């Protein structure tokens, strides 16, 4: 039977490619993002190309009540979600004490609270049916602190730890939770987060390749998975994690300073 996937942040980048990949399998979609015009265009594209059902929900996940509204809308439409993909994310670069608090709070709300809220809203149904998959798109940033992106790295760490803890809580069920950690990817993220021109965003992976890595990991039920990682980047990640903490923090900061 066709599976229905709910994907947040579906209007661009990795989320958009995840939607296309799922539709190519014959799966139905619930697409969530702020920009309705982009969602509507993607709905037309996917329905015409693959003959699947696409439902659009325009929501801003910086609003604390958005996860409840999304779950309520899906329930009222009688849609049974099989795959929950928490892909939406915000980033911003700068010194924490200089960053406007509303910008930091928006990152915390989208990257951590909304992800947790949607997971909490849909997980009881998954457990009751003893079926379902959750893909939480975090980042390689989840594995260490990140000077100049202190809040972003911290929120991704929260999402990764939550995901891993749920794996153990759900071990006696057929529900899986995957912590998916993409490397730097060619999307709008770098420009929006002020990361253009930094070492981290040289030689980025394509959104399609990263999305495919994540989708496949979700279907396998992997606990942790990386997306778009070259051998060189993986070695750098391992080296950074093995360095003394202060030295690692300085290395991470240098990588995020504009050239």
Residues annotated as part of the active site: 152, 156
Kindly give the residue spans of alpha helices, DSSP state H, lying in 51-149: 66-76, 101-108, 115-129
**Which sign does the torsion angle of CA 147, 151, 152, 153 carry?**
positive
* Cα separations in angstroms, 259 against 196, 199, 202, 254, 256: 9, 7, 11, 10, 9
Q: Whole-angstrom Cα distance, residue 124 to residue 121?
A: 7
Q: How far is CA 224 from CA 87, 102, 161, in A?
A: 15, 31, 11
The CA distance from 102 to 135, in Å, is 27
Name the DSSP letter for residue 147.
T
Q: How many CB atoms lie within 10 A of CB 29?
A: 28
* DSSP symbol at 180: E
Give Cβ neighbours of residue 158 (< 8 Å, ≥ 6 apart): 111, 112, 116
Pairwise CA distance, residues 161 & 115, whole Å: 12
- Nearest partner of 183 among 230, 150, 144, judged by Cα: 230
């Amino acid at each position: 039977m066709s599976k229905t996937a709910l994907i947040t942040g579906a209007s661009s980048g990795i989320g958009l490619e995840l939607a296309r990949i799922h539709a190519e399998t014959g799966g139905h979609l619930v697409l969530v993002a702020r920009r309705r015009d982009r969602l509507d265009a993607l709905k037309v594209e996917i329905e015409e190309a693959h003959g699947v059902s696409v439902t659009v929900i325009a929501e801003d996940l910086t609003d604390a009540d958005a996860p409840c509204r999304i779950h309520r809308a899906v329930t009222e439409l009688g849609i049974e979600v099989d795959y929950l993909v928490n892909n939406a994310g915000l980033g911003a670069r700068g010194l924490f004490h200089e960053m406007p608090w509303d910008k930091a709070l928006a990152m915390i709300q989208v990257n951590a609270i909304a992800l947790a809220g949607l997971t909490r809203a849909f997980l009881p149904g998954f457990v009751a049916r003893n079926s379902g998959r959750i893909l939480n798109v975090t980042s390689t940033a989840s594995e260490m602190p990140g000077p100049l992106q202190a809040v972003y790295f911290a929120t991704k760490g929260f999402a990764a730890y939550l995901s891993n803890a749920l794996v153990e809580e759900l071990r006696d069920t057929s529900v899986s939770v995957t912590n998916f950690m993409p490397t730097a990817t060619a999307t709008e993220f770098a420009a929006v987060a002020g990361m253009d021109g930094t070492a981290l965003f040289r030689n980025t992976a394509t959104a399609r390749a990263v999305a495919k890595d994540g989708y496949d990991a979700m279907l396998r039920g992997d606990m942790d998975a990386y997306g778009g990682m070259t051998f060189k980047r993986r070695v750098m990640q391992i080296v950074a994690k093995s360095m003394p903490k202060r030295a690692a923090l300085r290395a991470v900061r240098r990588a995020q300073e504009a050239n």
